Amino acid sequence: MKKKIVHYLSIIAVILLLLNVVLDLFKKKSFHPNAKELSRAEIENIFWKILDDYGIKANWVTKKKFSQADEDSIFYQFNVLLTEDIPIPLIIKDINNVIRKDISTYVSEEKKIFGDTELRIYSNEFLKLRANFIPDKNLKRDENEISFLIFDAMDLDEENLKSFLMSKLPINAVIVPSEDLSQKADSLSKYSKEYVLILNNDVTDTKMKLSQDFKKEILRASIENILNSFPKNKFVFVDESSTLFNSPIFNYVRDEFRKKNRPLIHMSECIKLNQSEDEIFSKLKFYLEDTINKRKIFYTDFNNFKKVTYMIDKFRKKGGKVLPISKSYLKDRN
């Protein structure tokens, strides 16, 4: 009996030994030193691409000669100046997300005094890039600002309305004055959402309509009803193609709104995103990259807004800001 037990134990020991050998061979094969490694040029291209994603300008980056006894694979390092609002850990995370696809490459970081961070990228154990990230309080990224007006926000179904209200971005609703929408408009503030009013041909509420057939007393009363029904409104837009805008009473209506500190804003202030999908992407890309006019208002429906959120995320990563309408450049109009 004892001989059988010893015999079985011997067999198990041999099997375990063979398993260890196989596992060891598999590990060596997985991390074979001949695995394809990223070149220094490829790593530097990744590095520059990520810096550009964060709006870091080329003249904020300098090269400095570098030599170290145990590191002879590179001859210079990068010194990268950053604005204080750029999170260095996110830059390093984004770089790592790209290069980790190559199993032979890895990133090392070391925090230094005064807030500096040193980045090292190795491929097959060879140092391929070294960079120092240095926050500088005197630097500023391009201060581009955009706002979004969602013209169908009040007509969305339950699911999309919830998505609109819960959006982390401060997007704004567009409301055609109507007594039925007064309470709904008032509730937007619970979700940190704002709204604007628009005067166009869709205004049908008899207490708020502005018709050239009305006397001045009725027009004043309609304007009072509009402003009193939407007390949290800060801006009133007018459609230049509307009957009101092209009627003889427009100047009077405009002046009355101005007396109430609500100057009428032309819809031409807005950039409309209502074309085909490809055209919308192209148009938005053009305006987001425009550095001459740095403050813009976009006018679109919620479906198109959802399609371009990835472009807005890239814009924000570069330092751009998405503002509620009350903090847009229109605030200086009131």
Q: Which CATH class is domain 40-135?
A: alpha beta
**For residue 103, what pLDDT is reported?**
62
- The span from the CA of 334 to the CA of 332, in Å, is 6
In this predicted structure, which of 113-117, 173-177, 253-257 has the lowest mean pLDDT?
A: 113-117
Residue 4 has pLDDT above 60, yes or no: no
Neighbours of 185 (CB within 10 A): 23
| Sheet of 105-111, strands arranged across | 61-65, 76-82, 126-135, 117-123, 105-111
Whether 315 has a pLDDT exceeding 60, the answer reads yes
Q: Phi and psi for 202 in degrees, rounded to 5?
A: -90, -5
Across residues 261-284, what is the average pLDDT?
Answer: 95
Going from the C-alpha of 29 to that of each of 15, 99, 110, 201, the distances in angstroms are 21, 20, 31, 72
Torsion angle of the four alpha carbons 311, 313, 315, 318, in this order, in degrees rounded to the nearest 10: -140
CA dist 315 and 144 (Å) reads: 9
Q: What is the pLDDT of residue 9?
A: 44
Looking at residue 66, its pLDDT comes to 76
145-333: CATH topology is TIM Barrel (3.20.20)
Range(s) for CATH 3.20.20.370 in the chain? 145-333
What residues does CATH 3.30.460 cover in the chain?
40-135
**What letters, b where the CB count within 10 A reaches 16 and e where it falls short, cover 31-50?**
eeeeeebbebeebbebbeeb
The mean pLDDT value of the chain amounts to: 87
Residues 44-70, mean pLDDT to the nearest whole number: 89
d(CA 332, CA 25): 71
Sign of the alpha-carbon dihedral angle for 245, 248, 250, 253:
negative
Q: What are the pLDDT digits (tens) for 82-114?
A: 999 999 999 999 998 888 776 666 777 777 666
pLDDT in tens, 162-185: 999 999 999 999 999 999 999 999
Q: Which phi and psi (to 5°) does residue 237 adopt?
A: -100, 155
